[in-house]
Structure 1
Amino acid sequence: MSQSSLPSRRNMLFGAAAVSATALLTSCTSNENNDDPEPDTQAQVSDEKPGKQVTIGFAGPQADHGWLNAINDNARKRAGTYKDVKLEITEGSNDAAAQDGQIQTLIDKKVDVLVILPADGKAMTQAGLKAMQAGIPVINLDRIFDSPQAYRTWIGGDNYGMGLNAARYIGEALKDKANATVVELAGIDNLELTRQRTQGFDDGLKNYPNIKKVARQAAEFTVESGQRKMTDLLQAQPKFDALWNHDDDQGDGALQAIKQAGREGFLMVGGAGSKNAMDNIKADNSVLKATVLYPPTMAASAIDLARALGQGKGVGGLAEFEIPASLTLFSAVVDKTNVDQYMPTGFK
């Protein structure tokens, strides 16, 4: 997930959620109106009339997390829907030097467009600049480069919006409860995304003066860290009314800790939109009642944008001839009322 400051949240909120964003982007032409495959049928070939052949290079970090693995899957599946797209995908690395070498290989292959989810946005800025200077437009995915000269378009999630919408959901659920308390299970504290999610959550809670955040623990986006840090929270806080967890992978561990402690009587809101989280929300047999999306379908949308760039098209539904400079996806809240709609976007 994003490791660098994202563009202002005043940027375009592109669609109501990942599903609608992907649906609009698929018709990446300002002159045609084509239906988009449903999220669970992305592997099917698009029935849109093929255009100019486009070779897209895709470079992402190592898929050592459920969300990152879903990023790669979404890119592959989306590319597979187009007869006029060839995808050159790298192995993926969390080492900036190794990823830089992979990107240089794609530049040397003279791909038409590059989609890059950098292992580290700041460290990989030069790689983006090299591609742009070589005449290869770059779609910067999620973790933003330090310089706008390093990319043609940025697309990613809204970390501040995740925290804000989590606070709103919890706030509405507890607005009639006097002296309500919440705790926060954050992500990795040295990441900008974690600070943004916490800031959004804190700002959202200001609209509910009856609710006070009484504790916060930072985990590491893993099941093990989630279980360990949630155990610490439970021991330190014998009673609270709600929990905001930044990441559904670490949320699996948090749920294990909650079950082992025999704790209930509070609601939990997760983050990112994993399949496990959505299954739990649908079953409605645990404290987990909602999750706030950070949609990995952004990778599918990045392929759509790359194809449009390679073919000189705009985006269907927009009047402009060019694709936008940045797209911020909306952090939709998924609960039992709409979980069936979003289930196809859940990642393992």
Structure 2
Amino acid sequence: MPENGPLGRRGFLLGGAVVGAGALATACTSNEPPAASKPAASQAPAAGSDNDKPGKQVTIGFSAPAADHGWIAAIAKNAQAEAGRYSDVTFRPVEPTNDINQQISAVESLIQQKVNVLVLLPNDGEQLNQVARRAMDAGIPVVNLDRVFPDKLSYRTWIGGDNYGMGVAAGHYIGKKLKDKGVSNPVIVEIQGIATLPLTQDRSKGFADALKSYGFGVTAKQDAKFTVQTGNEVAGNLLQAHKKIDALWNHDDDQGVGVLAAIKQAGRNEFFMVGGAGSANAMREIKAGGVLECTVTYSPTMASSAIRLARLIAQGKGMGDLVENQVPQSITLASETITKENVDAYLPLGFES
């Protein structure tokens, strides 16, 4: 997932656990020990889904980059759809843009409008840090989505994906399969997004660490800039350079459209491929059978979860499945492994490349 323009992505998958909106935990504790006659269960939070019931009216401001690829498009779509589920939410998005200064101006306009809470996926966390801080200083809680601000005073809650975990999931799938097949000294190829981004470096480190546990390493890697065209070119070059490949991990399913096209054009099928992010296109390829066997998630459903969290924060509520009375400060979503065996369960969450 990139950080600026085509750099966008990914931060997470809604792994069932995080982020459902459940009931506010109603139990409280006191300094007095519970009476012996009372069952321990009486101290447990009440179950239920009261958080979904209409509450205080809130206005949620929203800003994200322009939709120059499928994942970012799904971010905006998911946020708007989730806000529409609640009669007590007014959703106020600003024009999406890949221009840093324009996004800063757009966020400033939301501050001036005095929205109750702001959901912000910055083009660049470093460069938008100060405007997010201004929102917080103005009493507007910021839900920082995916690309994190360096200053924790600039956001109330961060929610995003696990880039290192993506690499670990891909590495374990590839490592185990090759080990089970008895392959020694495998040729493992890695196609990154943008090599200079911290998120890409985290993914590559997770991948290398997981492969190391099987005694394997990456033979060759090259970045493809998160674009279909570059994915096609890079995959073509790697296929020419390596006449035999055992496994390939492509970090991003959007650029994976180009990677798969290059593989098909070359007529290569001696290896298997793992994707990244969880696009519907990749899931359909997995379901059909072929070189793409698996993808590891970094789902844009995180935007839906960010809207839920923003609503709860603005209404002074907590997450129903937690004991605490307030929404957590940081939520990292799990990277899940999608294969032919479980793809039907994930297809509804896929985004179009």
Aligned pairs for 1:259-298 (under 5 A) are 259-284=264-289, 286-298=290-302
Q: TM-score, normalised by structure 2?
A: 0.89
Distance of 1:143 and 1:64 partners within structure 2: 17
Whichever residue aligns with residue 281 of structure 2, its letter is N
Query: What is the TM-score with the length of structure 1 in the denominator?
Result: 0.90
| 2: CA distance, partners of 1:119 / 1:21 | 28
Matched, 1:161 2:165: yes
Query: In 2, distance between residues paired with 1:154 and 1:2?
Result: 17
Indicate conservation of the 8 Å contact 2:21/2:52, yes or no. Answer: no
| Residue of structure 1 in register with 2:55 after alignment | 51
Specify the code of the residue in structure 2 equivalent to 1:179: N
Structure 2 stretches of 5 or more lacking a match? 5-11, 27-45
Match of residue 252 from structure 1 = 257
Q: 1:306: Cα distance to partner? A: 0.4
SS in 2 for 1:126: helix
Aligned AA (1:336): K
The code of the aligned residue for 2:96 comes to G
Partner of 2:327: 323
Q: 2:155 aligns with which of 130, 151, 163?
A: 151
- Deviation of the 1:19 alpha carbon: 4.7
User: Per-residue CA shift, 1:102-133, capped at 9, x if unaligned?
Assistant: 00110111100000000000000001100000
Question: For residue 187 of structure 1, what is the amino acid of its counterpart?
Answer: G
CA RMSD of aligned residues (A): 1.7
Check if 1:185 corresponds to 2:180.
no
Match of 2:225 in 1: 220
1:48 Cα deviation from its structure 2 partner: 3.4
For 2:327, give the aligned amino acid: I
User: 1:282-326: CA deviations, max 9, x gaps?
Assistant: 111x20000000011110000010000111000011000111010
Rounded to whole Å, the distance in 2 between the matches of 1:230 and 1:179 is: 21
Q: In the alignment, residue 25 of structure 1 is paired with which amino acid?
A: G
Q: 8 Å contact 2:192–2:251 — kept in the other structure?
A: yes
Question: Take 1:313 and 1:47, find their aligned partners in 2: how far apart are those partners?
Answer: 8
Post-superposition offset of 1:94: 1.3
1:90, CA displacement in angstroms? 1.1
Q: Which amino acid aligns with 1:96?
A: I
Residue 67 (structure 1) aligned with residue 71 (structure 2)? yes
Q: Distance in 1 between matches of 2:17 and 2:110?
A: 27
- Where does residue 115 of structure 1 map in the other structure? 119
**Which secondary structure state, in structure 1, belongs to the residue aligned with residue 335 of structure 2?**
coil
1:282 counterpart letter in structure 2: K
Return the letter of the residue paired with 1:294: Y
Q: 1:315 to 1:47 in 2, by over 3 A?
A: closer
| Residue identity in the other structure for 2:89 | V
Q: Is the 8 A contact 2:121 2:146 kept in 1?
A: yes
Paired position in structure 2 for 1:26: 21
Give, in whole Å, the separation in 1 of the partners of 2:17 and 2:105: 32
Distance between the aligned counterparts of 2:2 and 2:57, measured in 1?
A: 31
The answer to which of 26-35 and 66-75 deviates more is 26-35
Provide structure 1 residue ranges, at least 5 long, that are not aligned to the other structure.
5-13, 36-45
Mapped to 1, the partners of 2:2 and 2:292 lie a distance apart of 24
Which structure's CA Rg is the greater one? 2
For the 8 Å contact 1:293–1:332, the answer to whether it is kept is: yes
Aligned pair count reads 324
Return the match for 1:206 from 190, 212, 229.
Answer: 212
- For residues 100 and 331 of structure 1, do their structure 2 counterparts lie closer, same or farther at Cα, with a shift above 3 Å needed? same
The alpha-carbon deviation at position 216 of structure 1 amounts to 0.8
Q: By how many angstroms is 1:25 displaced?
A: 2.6
> What is the identity, as a one-letter code, of the residue corresponding to 2:194?
I
SS in structure 1 of the partner of residue 218 of structure 2: strand
Match of 1:242 among 232, 237, 247: 247
Distance 1:115 1:21, change over 3 A: farther
From 193, 198, 201, the equivalent of 1:195 is 201
Identity %: 53
Q: Is the 8 A contact 1:154 1:327 kept in 2?
A: yes
**Does structure 2 conserve the Cα–Cα contact (< 8 Å) formed by 1:2 and 1:142?**
no
What amino acid is the match of 1:86? Answer: T
Query: Which whole-Å CA distance do the structure 1 matches of 2:51 and 2:158 have between them?
Result: 27
Distance 2:123 2:350 in 1: 23
The one-letter code matched in structure 2 to 1:120 is D
CA distance in 1, matches of 2:236, 2:214: 27
- The question of whether the paired residues in 1 share the 8 Å contact of 2:193 and 2:226 is answered with yes
Q: Is the 8 A contact 1:313 1:321 kept in 2?
A: yes
Q: Tell me the equivalent position of 2:41.
A: none
